[in-house]
Structure 1
Amino acid sequence: MRDGLSGLAGAGDSLWLACDETLTVERVDRRRIRPPLFAGHVSFKLEDFIRIPGGPHAEADLEDLDIASGYLWLVGSHAASRKMPDAAQSSRKVAKALARVERPASRCLLARIPMVETDGTQQLRRRAGHGGRKRVAGRLEDGPGGNALTAALRGDEHFREALAMPGKENGLDIEGLAVVGDRVLLGLRGPVFNAWAAIVEIEPRPARDHPSLLRLAHIGHGRKLYRKHFLPLDGLGIRGLARQGLDLLVLAGPTAAIDGPARVYRWIGGARSDVQRRVRPGNVIPVMELPVGRGNDRPEAIVVVPSRDGRDRLLVVYERAARSRYLGAHGVVADLFVLPA
């Protein structure tokens, strides 16, 4: 699991993690302040809370997490993939395999699960109460091509062609998640348009007749089911999102599965943006460059960690962690960076 960490979210002394190879979410709790140590690993099966498209043994390709209003939110990549041929096969069979592009239904997952605190620890529940209202675990309803989101994007001028392409070939590939009030911001690793990356904003709401299903609400003046925001990220795609106050921190990296630059940008006011418009370059500024290994240590997920000294830190976990990061039989070392004021 330590080689496949893909999503992070923090609440109090607990850290929640996702792995892109499992249908579980993980919780670890802070044990020591300096240096920070998270232990006491607890795993939660998603099938205990929501129905998994494709069944409990399918691949969800979980990519990011966030916590808001008493819910743990999670998102799958929604990405298609191309059949990998066997090099020993005939050229005809290789060509046939390369023409196969599939989007597993299990990857088209956007869900939220109620969180509660029991005996000082955070737990997940299928149903819970919060602030005088009931909360129910739910996921975005199914739709053509996957779910309601992929159905809504099928006719979009920017995304209709990307839906037909594999995620790692500049096709649709969701890797970032940030929840602000009723709004859910989805950061796309692909497609990237010239030097611009995209964030899709939606407002999923529980269906009146079926609260465990989320439906897309119409938003904005155009009464569409989504908004689009385009960020100038120097040709990089979005690999993760994290809220910091009213700003949105954006982890950016290559769209392909290659070594390449990894940077954190700040979208000033991004956590309160409520109009569909081209983001002004002056509102998206580089914050820091992150280290990248050779064939390993590719920054994959971020979360903001508040500090007692008033200087927020950024916790970063890596895809394909280098062996030098291994800690015991199952642990892994993450990086903690001080965020510039």
Structure 2
Amino acid sequence: MKKSTVTLQFNPELSLNADGKHVREGLSTILRTGDYLWVSCDERCTLERLKKINEDTFGEHHSFDLSQFLKLPAGTNNEIDIEGIASEEHYLWLVGSHSLARRKPKKSQDSDDQIKRLAKLKTDPNRYLLARIPLIRHKNTGEISLAKHSTHPYEHQFMLTAAQLIGNHAGSNQLLEALTHDIHVQDFLKIPGKDNGFDIEGLAVHGERIFIGLRGPVLRGWAIIFEVAVQDTHEGYFELKPVGPKGELYIKHFLHLEGMGIRELSVSGEDLLILAGPSMDLDGTIALYRWPQALRQTGQTITHRKDLMRLFEVPHGSSDTTGQDKAEGLTVYDPHHAIIVFDSPTEERKVNENDVLADLYAF
């Protein structure tokens, strides 16, 4: 395993959210499409695109407001908490965390009020989002961008359209409704993500197969991936279609990641790369795994640790930097390398006023 770095350069005019938080402070996902990197901050309703400038630098930052392509239940007033992005067949796919959040104590308040806040849960309707947006390439410049509608580049009789999973309202959608009676996760749906509750943090797409990785719950050391497929319904929406042997709307895959949950997924040939880390809000081991021949698997599976390849551990904050450098996003950079981006980067990772270093690993 060999590590180098890639510099991500952000435009200061596009990089601050309403609370003044810089996009580089909360990177949660990353995806490479050609000469472009797509990243997201978990406290925004935008996707950020960076263009390759040289071998180790991406810049020319452009920000896309996702409310221009999708019907966000809360508009841009609430974050989407994007935790996974992927691409397949001229589409960029994205998924929100689908999780409840427990309010944080505020040190400025008295003790009683701080304790009361720990009992309060909040739901952000925009978090319950599984969606796709057409990726288009400009004929003359080669620029890759997003569009709400676009003619298929090779089959001109077909249209590519932005769409999302039905039922994105009031903190639910069709996926969560299907899981309300699931024997493994039903009891975790009302537990906040940072408490080992239900929390999506990984997405990979291959053909019609959509793999959704859970940071939590982790069940006695076993992490969970849901596999689903979709079909269009009416304009701007799609629905889950049966994929299980008895008409189930999802298939479950269980993987023993040695107690860790899933932070990100990425397709590598016929394998899946899995970035794994703690399910709860704590410092702990973060590692990259390979699930060999994952895309050849059919039906429900359970994969023991000896059948997974643990490639390497990813450094994270500890001691003086506890709570920092939390690896969150992963994308295949080329057939032999992957890029990892970090939430809450250390000062050493920040470059200049608006840039940040991502790590490039051989695998």
Confirm or deny a common fold (TM above 0.5). yes
Question: What's the C-alpha RMSD, in Å, of the aligned pairs?
Answer: 1.6
Determine the C-alpha separation between the residues in 2 that align with 1:180 and 1:22.
Answer: 27
Determine the C-alpha separation between the residues in 2 that align with 1:255 and 1:280.
Answer: 19
Cα distance, 1:180 vs. partner? 1.0
Pair 128,86 (structure 1): closer, same or farther in 2 beyond 3 Å: same
> What SS does the corresponding residue of 2:235 show, helix, strand or coil?
strand
- The within-5 A match list for 1:128-277 is 128-130=150-152, 131-132=154-155, 133-142=158-167, 145-207=171-233, 210-277=234-301
Partner in structure 2 of residue 63 of structure 1:
83
Matched AA of 2:75: G
- The within-5 A match list for 1:304-323 is 304-306=332-334, 312-323=336-347
Cα distance, 1:17 vs. partner? 0.7
Q: Would you say how many aligned residue pairs link Structure 1 and Structure 2?
A: 330
Superposed CA offset, 1:77-101 (max 9, x none): 001012334564564x666543332
Q: Note the residue ranges of structure 1 that are not aligned, 5 or more in a row.
A: none
Residue 15 in 1 paired to residue 37 in 2? yes
Q: 2:133 aligns with which of 113, 138, 141?
A: 113
> What SS does the corresponding residue of 1:211 show, helix, strand or coil?
coil
> What SS does the corresponding residue of 1:265 show, helix, strand or coil?
strand
User: Larger relative CO (CA 8 A, sep 6+): 1 or 2?
Assistant: 2
Partner in structure 2 of residue 6 of structure 1:
28
Instruction: Between 228-237 and 318-327, report the one with greater CA deviation.
Output: 318-327
Asked whether the equivalents of residues 288 and 311 of structure 2 are also in contact (C-alpha less than 8 Å), the reply is yes
> What SS does the corresponding residue of 1:47 show, helix, strand or coil?
helix
Pair 331,85 (structure 1): closer, same or farther in 2 beyond 3 Å: closer
Asked whether the equivalents of residues 101 and 164 of structure 1 are also in contact (C-alpha less than 8 Å), the reply is no
Determine the C-alpha separation between the residues in 2 that align with 1:78 and 1:89.
Answer: 31
> What SS does the corresponding residue of 1:164 show, helix, strand or coil?
coil
Determine the C-alpha separation between the residues in 2 that align with 1:73 and 1:103.
Answer: 22
Asked whether the equivalents of residues 78 and 103 of structure 1 are also in contact (C-alpha less than 8 Å), the reply is no
Superposed CA offset, 1:96-136 (max 9, x none): 54333233211101110001011211010000122312111
> What SS does the corresponding residue of 1:151 show, helix, strand or coil?
helix
Superposed CA offset, 1:182-201 (max 9, x none): 11101100000011000011
Q: 2:352 aligns with which of 323, 328, 333?
A: 328
Matched AA of 2:33: A
Percent identity, please: 38
Partner in structure 2 of residue 102 of structure 1:
122
Pair 299,95 (structure 1): closer, same or farther in 2 beyond 3 Å: closer
Cα distance, 1:274 vs. partner? 2.2
Determine the C-alpha separation between the residues in 2 that align with 1:212 and 1:8.
Answer: 25
Cα distance, 1:145 vs. partner? 4.5
Determine the C-alpha separation between the residues in 2 that align with 1:253 and 1:189.
Answer: 8
Determine the C-alpha separation between the residues in 1 that align with 2:348 and 2:64.
Answer: 28
Pair 85,291 (structure 1): closer, same or farther in 2 beyond 3 Å: closer
Superposition TM-score, scaled by structure 1 size: 0.93
Cα distance, 1:273 vs. partner? 2.4
Asked whether the equivalents of residues 53 and 109 of structure 1 are also in contact (C-alpha less than 8 Å), the reply is no
Asked whether the equivalents of residues 180 and 272 of structure 1 are also in contact (C-alpha less than 8 Å), the reply is no
Cα distance, 1:58 vs. partner? 1.2
Determine the C-alpha separation between the residues in 1 that align with 2:26 and 2:62.
Answer: 17
Determine the C-alpha separation between the residues in 1 that align with 2:350 and 2:85.
Answer: 23
Matched AA of 2:177: A
Asked whether the equivalents of residues 257 and 305 of structure 2 are also in contact (C-alpha less than 8 Å), the reply is no
Q: 1:84 aligns with which of 84, 96, 104?
A: 104
Determine the C-alpha separation between the residues in 1 that align with 2:245 and 2:297.
Answer: 14
Cα distance, 1:327 vs. partner? 1.8
Pair 178,160 (structure 1): closer, same or farther in 2 beyond 3 Å: same
Partner in structure 2 of residue 73 of structure 1:
93
Cα distance, 1:254 vs. partner? 0.6
